[in-house]
Amino acid sequence: MPTIVAVDVSLSMAQPVALDSGETFTRLQLAIHGINTLLDYFSMYSKLEFVAVVAFSSTCEVISHFTRDFDQLKLKLNRLEECDKQDIESALQAINTIVLSEWGTATPCQVILITDGDTRYDAINLSQPSATLPFPFPGKMVAVALTSPGTLTPNLRRLVEVSGGDGSVVVPDSQLSPTCVQNLFHKLAEDNYSSFTGTLKCGHLSCKVILSPSPVPYTKTTDFDLETMSLTGLLEICGFVEVAHVGSPAAVSRHLVLPHPTSAATPASHAAVKVEPPESDDDNHDDGRTPSFCVLLHGALKVENMAALCQVGNDWYGVLYSWADSKKKSNLMLTLLEPGTDTVPWLGNFKHLGVPSDPENKNPEETFPVRPPEKRSYSQNCVVWIRQAGLQSDIQKILRHARKLPEKTSHFYKELNRVRRAAISLGFMSLVDGLAAILERECTLLPGTAHPDCALQLTHAAGALRKPYSRDPKYNIMPMRTKYTDGD
């Protein structure tokens, strides 16, 4: 989830904060120290995070667009200086512009607003939505107020509510100091950017994996209730299908699947994940030489061009596949489908794709393979006449088969019935009459070397098209039996 940090550089951020040791810091210096703590967390645990920084006072300045170069961000933050009065409207406008220009309206984005808590919103009427609020993109705002513990910030809380999403206001729990601010931002990072750690399992093979970005709970709306579903810690592979058969189904979210590091330190809020150690347990063992089922699965899916259907929750499934953004580098991706067992219509019910659980006592509902009770409409060759050229092409195809009668008799009547049914379904009855006239004209233009059966079939087809019963879409015009027909 991309993150944009908006830091207040108004004159109020120049207020000194005296410590018991005699040192003095400004609130802006403490804010920069907190942002550096956040960037350190990203560089260690969320290296794929994109971060942008803006500084606002009466105007807003873009310090850095979205980047992963956290060291360069720190250098730019050290050059921040206090300016004039505060204008939150300019910051909100800049946030919307940057996010919409780089990520659009569909990508969730996190907004971190850092101020001193003394916020005045003269330009915004918080009682109703404005041009800048709520945000036109999904996400949430986390406001950090560098103020004394227990200070009430009603305007700031109201701003978070109007922004949309599940935002919050964070205040220090002790007297302001570099250590207090560092703990504050570290807790903010753990609450909002902690990685999802789970177990990828296929039969007897399993390994710990990390999903990036972390999946959020999905709220399913029913007729009379709202059901919130979350991922379990187990991603169990149910089977494998070809990538071409999966296609591009509707998805809730997409995530990068990474092997869990065996030697890297984990955040304080996460317990260390224990992996089966090798015979010689060496803490400095290279992760690149450690066998990983995640790497094995990625290579197999990439080579075989297959996808793995996995269960991530109760009646909730996802698809694992190899995705490449270039010819040299590919990644293992997880696409979370909408909850349910029939979310990919062309695959049918997921529970009917496998073999019976008990081969000896077969359940009639688990017979394999399972054929759908009805023929899918999208599996048939439908007629599309969006442009005039499509209709002309179908008629010319019929005429090409007509000139090669009787060799192409079956093809001629197949195409004739296909176009006739499409015209009847669309209410294009004039096309049926026009097609009959075209066949009659074609009959008069036949060369002398044409087969006698050609004229007979064209006359028969033209007459059948004008019959009232031919307007029934279920009726098929059959070839005329003549003395030239094989077997007669």
Within this chain, do residues 244 and 316 fall inside the same structural domain, yes or no? yes
Burial class (CB in 10 A: 0-12, 13-18, 19+), 183: middle
In a domain, 249, yes or no: yes
Domains contained in the chain, number: 3
pTM for this one? 0.60
Within this chain, do residues 424 and 367 fall inside the same structural domain, yes or no? no
Within this chain, do residues 170 and 212 fall inside the same structural domain, yes or no? no
Which of 320, 345, 374 marks a domain boundary? 374
- Cβ(363)–Cβ(356) below 8 Å: yes
In a domain, 379, yes or no: no
The tokens for 117 are: 């808590």
How far is it, in rounded angstroms, from Cα 257 to Cα 470? 58
How far is it, in rounded angstroms, from Cα 95 to Cα 119? 18
Within this chain, do residues 207 and 60 fall inside the same structural domain, yes or no? no
| pLDDT by residue, tens only, the chain of 488 residues | 789 999 999 988 888 888 888 888 999 999 999 999 999 999 888 888 899 999 999 889 999 999 999 999 999 999 998 888 888 888 899 999 999 999 888 788 899 999 987 665 544 555 555 667 788 888 889 999 988 887 778 888 888 888 877 788 999 888 889 999 999 999 999 888 877 889 999 988 989 998 887 887 888 777 777 788 888 889 999 889 998 888 888 888 888 898 887 654 444 444 333 334 444 444 444 555 678 888 899 999 999 999 999 999 888 999 999 988 766 788 899 999 988 888 888 888 888 776 666 656 656 555 555 555 656 655 556 787 888 888 899 999 999 998 888 888 999 999 999 999 999 988 888 999 999 999 999 888 888 888 888 888 899 999 999 998 888 888 899 998 887 765 54
- Cβ(51)–Cβ(41) below 8 Å: no
Pairing of strands 316-324, 330-337: antiparallel
- What pLDDT sits at residue 75? 93
How far is it, in rounded angstroms, from Cα 438 to Cα 417? 15
In a domain, 463, yes or no: yes
Within this chain, do residues 12 and 27 fall inside the same structural domain, yes or no? yes
- Cβ(346)–Cβ(247) below 8 Å: yes
Within this chain, do residues 19 and 117 fall inside the same structural domain, yes or no? yes
In a domain, 137, yes or no: yes
In a domain, 279, yes or no: no
- What pLDDT sits at residue 364? 57
The tokens for 488 are: 């007669």
Quote the distance between the C-alpha of residue 282 and its chain's center.
40
Within this chain, do residues 357 and 211 fall inside the same structural domain, yes or no? yes
Q: Residues near 334 by Cβ (< 8 Å), separated by ≥ 6? A: 211, 235, 254, 255, 256, 257, 310, 318, 319, 320
In a domain, 309, yes or no: yes
How far is it, in rounded angstroms, from Cα 73 to Cα 81? 15
Q: Look up the CATH number of the domain holding residue 101.
A: 3.40.50.410
Pairing of strands 109-115, 3-8: parallel
Which residues form the domain of 409? 388-471
- Cβ(167)–Cβ(140) below 8 Å: yes
In a domain, 476, yes or no: no
In a domain, 65, yes or no: yes
Within this chain, do residues 21 and 159 fall inside the same structural domain, yes or no? yes
The tokens for 239 are: 């089977």
Other CB atoms within 10 Å distance of the CB of residue 147: 19
Within this chain, do residues 233 and 319 fall inside the same structural domain, yes or no? yes
DSSP 343-372: SSTTT--GGGSS--S-SSS--GGG-SS---
Burial class (CB in 10 A: 0-12, 13-18, 19+), 209: buried
Within this chain, do residues 177 and 200 fall inside the same structural domain, yes or no? no
Check residue 287 and report its DSSP letter.
G
Within this chain, do residues 184 and 204 fall inside the same structural domain, yes or no? no
Within this chain, do residues 73 and 152 fall inside the same structural domain, yes or no? yes
Burial 261-282 (b: 16+ CB within 10 A, else e): ebeeeeeeeeeeeebeeeeeee
Q: Look up the CATH number of the domain holding residue 366.
A: 2.40.290
The tokens for 35 are: 């942002």
- What pLDDT sits at residue 380? 57
